[in-house]
Amino acid sequence: MTATAAPAADLAKHQDNLFGVCAAIGEDFGFNPLWLRIAFACGLLFSLEGVIAAYAALGMVVLLSRLIAPKPKAKPQAEPVAEAPKADVVVTEPLRQAA
């Protein structure tokens, strides 16, 4: 697994996300969402209500940001067609005599 966050189109496909809040924030700010999940898990040691309130607040921020400024859908790009290598035909004198 890479350190980059999953694209927005893939967020709905993941079954291990709870509303995709950490993944969306990680994608927006360019860090691995696992770090945010670890921070929430550590916060659970101190205050369950605080973590739930912070998660809900971040969820509302993500929702509003996606509604106000949705990301344009990426158009699939065709793969460039590689040109066939050009063969340089070099006929030497001995080969010409052998034929």
Residue 93 pLDDT:
61
pLDDT band at 1 (very low <50, low <70, confident <90, very high): very low
Reduced DSSP (H G I as helix, E B as strand, rest coil) percent helix, strand, coil of the chain, to 5: 55, 0, 45
* Whether the predicted pLDDT of 41 surpasses 60: yes
pLDDT band at 77 (very low <50, low <70, confident <90, very high): confident
Residue 29 pLDDT:
86
- Give the integer Cα–Cα distance in Å for 43 and 21: 16
pTM comes to 0.56
pLDDT band at 40 (very low <50, low <70, confident <90, very high): very high
> Region 69-88: what's the mean pLDDT?
70
Residue whose C-alpha is closest to residue 52's, from 18, 11, 17: 18
pLDDT band at 96 (very low <50, low <70, confident <90, very high): low
